[in-house]
Amino acid sequence: MKSRKSCLFSLLLALLVTATAMGQTGRADYRVVPLPEINGIKSADFQLTGQTLINYPTGNRDMERNAIMLSEYVEQLTGMHLSVRPTLNAKDRNGHISLLLDPTVGGDEAYRLNVTARGVEIIGKTAAGVFQGIQTLRKSLPVGALSRIGLPAAQVAASPRFPYRGMHLDCVRHFFTVETVKRFIDIMALHGMNRLHWHLTDDQGWRVEIKKYPRLTEVGAWRKGTVLGHNSPVNDGVPYGGYYTQEEIKDIVRYAAERYITIIPEIDMPGHMLGALTAYPELGCTGGPYEVWCQWGVTDDILCVGKDETLQFVKDVLDEVMQLFPSEYIHIGGDESPRVRWEQCPLCQQRIKDEGIRAKGKQSAEALLQGWFTTQVQHYLADHGRHIIGWDELLGCDVDTTATIMSWTGAEPGAKGARLGHDVIMTPNTPMYFDHYQTRSTWNEPMAFGGCATLKMVYDFEPVAADLPADARHHIIGAQANVWTEYITCEPQIQYQILPRMAALAELQWLQPELKDFTDFKARLSHLVSIYQHYGWTYRAKSLTAEDE
């Protein structure tokens, strides 16, 4: 016989179950950032509930991982847990979400989202495209504890304008943990980006373990202290440093690849090398001694390219870098390399003679020596199936057009590079340096490099100059924002500098310029910001109001 107590318990349980089932409901809105094309929207909704399954093509590991990620995203944002399963046949798709591959979808990262009252299909030509469709569905969801979400019937589709949609992160000036780098990658994935340019070596530290040269991280990864502010006379005197082991790097590269993000390592050379020179002073023109730099800027001490050992060192380092990073591109820097040491160095001068290098017009012999050195590295990497990216200073050194140019001193060098036949990534310091202020009134802002790049300035940036000839336009392969970290010391500050500016960047990376509309973007941004809030990310709330524009 059932006791009264257990009857009461059953009743309470039933009420609880009913309340949970009735729970909060919400409706998806596909007008996300970046904006997809939305057609045929109808009032009939697909009902997403905890009973909805996510189907993926049987035996496809990438699509299985996509399905699991979609399930995780839905759970993170709404608390609903959706199970995933391999699709057995088309009938099983009825009433559920299905991830599908279809070669007729145009573009490797393009996607289509077909929603009817009977089911949801996320379709791509590749698993990478399906992943982009997943991000759009994710961003369209209402945020909060929900038990039912209506997905309006519609066809949603997008194809990115640029194949290279980058963010850069400097982990030298300040060092960031594996978890922080992974969260940076998560933020990139949410914004539909696909290239992380990872700045790993510089004057203030060497941050990548190289087995053949252990002193690079034993010695070169550590500095005695850090200058306060913009090179003030005050140094905090606190030893500072860190590096990523090869195992950690492999883990991060894998984590990024699972989100269809390629990591492009930057090993900056021949300048910005004090970390390495401190560890191996024989690689410099003067032989040192050197010290890992405790301040910011550009030092005269760079690699001595008159020595064969230097070239061997660079090749050995790149051998290990290539093992760690499958990326087609390796960034070899090339910026801010003063040539005063080379002018005085007998070995560098001998190299100039031996190679028959002669000054040409405005190009000094030393500038062309940098070109010669870069070409050696370029050929070495090409022999291993890799291509170089270098900063726009390379345009002054006569490197050939297989070098991709990253235009940072402005947009003009990029346009010039494209005219010459180089592929170009646009990252002009205004407005693509996200270490710059995001407002003209810098009072009450975290200290930044200087400059100003408001949300609107980022949104309005057009990577392809209007007067670029038709046959050069395709050379602009993408745009990227850079996060230099001289004045960025912690993860919340990174997030503050990039959010919400990354949203503006994402829209210019994805949308054709004629479809951009800043007012409409800002209206859509508020929901994206609610996702930032949900994940606990720091962002600049004032950028949501008009006061800085």
Residues marked as catalytic: 202, 272, 336
Which region, judged by CB under 5 A, interacts with Zn ion, from 71-79, 297-305, 328-336, 389-397?
297-305
**CA angle 324-277-177, nearest 5°?**
45
* Window 318-347: residues binding ligand ACM (CB under 6 A): 335-336
Between 108 and 336, CB nearer to ligand ACM: 336
Between 260 and 449, CB nearer to ligand ACM: 449
Q: Cα–Cα distances in Å, from 186 out to 135, 181, 255?
A: 11, 9, 9
* Window 467-496: residues binding ligand ACM (CB under 6 A): none
By CB under 5 A, residue 303 contacts Zn ion = no
**b/e code 185-197 from CB counts within 10 Å (16+ = b):** bbbbbbbbbbbbb
Residue 491 binds which entry of Zn ion, ligand ACM, none, CB below 5-8 Å type-dependent: none
Smallest separation, CB 248 to Zn ion (Å): 34
Between 172 and 304, CB nearer to Zn ion: 304
Amino acid found at 321: V
R_g (Cα) of the chain, nearest Å: 26
Contact 77, 530 (CB under 8 A): no
Contact 109, 127 (CB under 8 A): no
Which region, judged by CB under 5 A, interacts with Zn ion, from 61-69, 223-231, 346-354, 387-395?
346-354
Smallest separation, CB 537 to ligand ACM (Å): 25
The size of the interface with ligand ACM (CB under 6 A), counted in residues, is 4
- List, in order, residues 6 or more apart from 463 with CB less than 8 Å away: 162, 411, 414, 426, 476, 478, 479, 508
Q: Which residues pair with 262 in a beta bridge?
A: 195
Q: Is 75 helix (H, G, I), strand (E, B) or coil?
A: helix
State the number of CA atoms in the 13 A half-sphere of 127 facing the CB.
Answer: 18
Between CA 201 and CA 282 the distance in angstroms is: 18
Q: Which residues pair with 45 in a beta bridge?
A: 152
Q: Dig out the tokens for 44 from the structure.
A: 């009939």
* Window 389-428: residues binding ligand ACM (CB under 6 A): 391, 408
Between 293 and 391, CB nearer to ligand ACM: 391
- List, in order, residues 6 or more apart from 190 with CB less than 8 Å away: 135, 138, 139, 531
Contact 485, 174 (CB under 8 A): yes
By CB under 6 A, residue 445 contacts ligand ACM = no
Residue 200 binds which entry of ligand ACM, Zn ion, none, CB below 5-8 Å type-dependent: none
Which region, judged by CB under 5 A, interacts with Zn ion, from 92-100, 305-313, 401-409, 506-514?
305-313
Between 286 and 299, CB nearer to ligand ACM: 299
Q: Cα–Cα distances in Å, from 2 out to 6, 12, 14?
A: 6, 15, 16
Which region, judged by CB under 5 A, interacts with Zn ion, from 266-274, 279-287, 377-385, 485-493?
279-287
Residue 285 binds which entry of ligand ACM, Zn ion, none, CB below 5-8 Å type-dependent: Zn ion
Residue 336 binds which entry of Zn ion, ligand ACM, none, CB below 5-8 Å type-dependent: ligand ACM
By CB under 5 A, residue 304 contacts Zn ion = yes
Between CA 110 and CA 123 the distance in angstroms is: 9
Residue 357 binds which entry of Zn ion, ligand ACM, none, CB below 5-8 Å type-dependent: none
Between 260 and 293, CB nearer to ligand ACM: 293
Rounded (to 5) percent helix, strand, coil in the chain: 40, 20, 40
Which member of 152, 270, 306, 414 binds Zn ion (CB under 5 A)? 306
Residue whose Cβ sits closest to ligand ACM: 335
Between CA 120 and CA 132 the distance in angstroms is: 15
Contact 285, 373 (CB under 8 A): no
Between 160 and 413, CB nearer to ligand ACM: 413
Smallest separation, CB 483 to ligand ACM (Å): 11
Which region, judged by CB under 5 A, interacts with Zn ion, from 137-145, 343-351, 368-376, 381-389?
343-351
Residue 162 binds which entry of Zn ion, ligand ACM, none, CB below 5-8 Å type-dependent: none
The closest alpha carbon to 519, from 481, 547, 546, belongs to 546
Contact 200, 208 (CB under 8 A): yes
Smallest separation, CB 408 to ligand ACM (Å): 4
Q: Dig out the tokens for 40 from the structure.
A: 């045929």
Residues that bind Zn ion (CB under 5 A): 285, 304, 306, 345, 347-348
Residues that bind ligand ACM (CB under 6 A): 335-336, 391, 408
